[in-house]
Structure 1
Amino acid sequence: MSVKGKTALITGASSGIGFELSRIFAKNGYDLVLVSQNEGNLNKAVSKLREQNGSTRITHLPVDLSQLSSAQEIYSFIKEKSIQVDVLINNAGIQVYGNFHETILEDNVQLMYVNMFTLTKLTRLFLDDMVKRRDGKILNLASTGAFQPCPLNAVYCASKAFVLHFSEGIAEELRGSGVTVTALCPGATRTNFAKRAKIEDTRMFSRSLMDAGKVAEIGYSALMKGKAVAVAGIGNKLMTESIRLSPRSIVTKLGRQLMIRTKSF
């Protein structure tokens, strides 16, 4: 589906799923507003996208989404540039690994800001304009972790459960408004995310990983169809369905086994 003259705003766009989504939107004729904390990586991503899609108009903005003012900063920037955002992609996310009582409190607070608070604020700010136009799409990155509590990953999975439930709730509220909201739920994916979170040696990431490009394609397709929830991959779909039917005590034990480092065995 090729669309000319529309703009997609993508957070966490400098690598991984965010970059692959940027590539897909550019290929389909969208102009881009790309947001990422790392200005150097963001500039590299913009250069790559311009090489691949020379006609794509790309605006980029380095912003730390863990800051209280970041959502308003992005929205004000968009208004100053007179850009109409037709698609909002809340892709940025961070993770804190380990027993909660042993992790740094501020790291968890920053995670909550990036994964939940800034996502919610951006959604609210841009949703007003979309509802007034009766046209718009929002894609929020949740996770298969959203379906279960997970020891050693407790705050992250709780934050993604918020993203999933929040997205499903407002998707129903917006039914018939011309605006759709989709929650994309990938499992372990081949990106730099695990390296940055220092969880490459967990059992979850030592097995076969999905390709970031494939996850992005699944997310893009679900968004264009207006689906409320998209779980990426057959194996992940089966896992999330089995979680619904399993006793919670078993779910948490299995979650812990997946997050334990392989060197512990």
Structure 2
Amino acid sequence: MKNVIITGGSSGIGFAAAQHFCNKGYRVLVIARNPEKLQQAVASLNQSEGSGEAIALALDLSDFTQVRAAIGEIQQLMPSIDILALNAGLFSGRSYAMTHGGYESMIATTHLGHFELTRLLLENLKQSQDPRIVVTASDAHWAGGIEPASFTHPKYAKLPYFGVIWGYGQSKLANILFTREFAKRYADSGITITCFHPGIVNTGLGRDLNQRVADFISQFLLAPAKAAEAIVYLAEDPAVKALNGKYFYKNKPHRCSKKARSRQLAEELWQETEKYLASA
């Protein structure tokens, strides 16, 4: 039985991927920040036709103290991790929003929390025969840049701040840069890491939009189950191992922005992330 961890797994793409893995008989640890919604999702997953098992872990990735406190429990549940799907994301709406710890909420949830979770579970991933990390990125990264000072203070961000589109783009650009830099740093670890653009998907990310606008847009969006096929492909297909560090769309390597391809920016982001997390 394979061990799978999916962040943001109580709805949308994450839930659909969890459902697939449960149906295949895998043990799936579903991480989400809303305990009530999480319990409902896991109950539904455990009623599915497959022989797998879903386990709930309520965790706010933007709270790094919570992430660190949860590691012991995760390691006990899953000494070996076969698939780590870093899927959780956040679109903060109309303004700059900060976490209780003093970080911009989108970068904290989508990048910093995932970075810390992965770092602390690295040895568990190495215990698997074919460990995979799959990161849900987005073509929204084209709209962003990386400004580390904006992680903690709005005055350093763009347009003049925040331009939530820029901020969301920053978080997704960070996903791609993290993927590329991890692949370089851990090339000899046996871990395959990839990221992907899911398409424009009908998930809860746009919950802060005007309802009429959201209803109209939803007519043209991809179903989460369809988008989740990318997580399944990248987590299991043997051919992906030869494409470590790549960005995908529709199960093929996909063009990303010049910033996303920058080795220097990837290294700088990694270093800045380590600094922030060391002081958090």
TM superposition score category, shorter chain reference? 0.7 to 0.9
Deviation of 1:206 (Å): 5.9
The 1:39/1:132 distance shift into structure 2, 3 A limit, reads closer
Deviation of 1:173 (Å): 3.5
C-alpha RMSD of matched pairs (Å): 2.9
Match of 1:121 among 116, 123, 135: 116
Amino acid paired to 2:108: Y
Deviation of 1:133 (Å): 5.1
Partner of 2:151: none
2:29 aligned counterpart, secondary structure? strand
Deviation of 1:186 (Å): 2.0
Distance between the aligned counterparts of 1:66 and 1:7, measured in 2? 24
Partner of 1:258: none
Distance between the aligned counterparts of 1:115 and 1:162, measured in 2? 8
Match of 2:142 among 140, 147, 162: 147
Match of 2:30 among 31, 34, 40: 34
Match of 2:61 among 34, 44, 65: 65
Partner of 1:194: 206
Distance between the aligned counterparts of 1:83 and 1:132, measured in 2? 8
Amino acid paired to 2:25: G
1:40-59 alignment to 2 at 5 Å? Answer: 40-53=36-49, 55-59=51-55
Do the aligned residues in 2 keep the contact of 1:97 with 1:153 (CA within 8 Å)? no
1:94 aligned counterpart, secondary structure? coil
Deviation of 1:55 (Å): 2.4
Amino acid paired to 1:93: G
1:189 aligned counterpart, secondary structure? coil
Distance between the aligned counterparts of 1:135 and 1:87, measured in 2? 9
Match of 1:22 among 12, 18, 35: 18
Alignment of 1:137 with 2:132, yes or no, is yes
Do the aligned residues in 2 keep the contact of 1:71 with 1:118 (CA within 8 Å)? yes
Distance between the aligned counterparts of 1:103 and 1:119, measured in 2? 20
Where does structure 1 lack aligned partners over 5 or more consecutive residues? 245-265
Residue identity (%): 24
Partner of 1:103: 96
The 1:75/1:106 distance shift into structure 2, 3 A limit, reads closer
Do the aligned residues in 2 keep the contact of 1:97 with 1:199 (CA within 8 Å)? no
Partner of 1:222: 234
The 1:232/1:80 distance shift into structure 2, 3 A limit, reads same
Aligned length: 231
The 1:133/1:30 distance shift into structure 2, 3 A limit, reads closer
Distance between the aligned counterparts of 2:9 and 2:164, measured in 1? 27
1:233-252 alignment to 2 at 5 Å? Answer: none
Q: Larger deviation: 29-38 or 52-61?
A: 52-61
Residue by residue over 1:43-71, the C-alpha shift from the partner in whole angstroms, topping out at 9 and shown as x without a partner, is 11111111113521222111122212132
Distance between the aligned counterparts of 1:204 and 1:179, measured in 2? 41
The 1:177/1:199 distance shift into structure 2, 3 A limit, reads farther
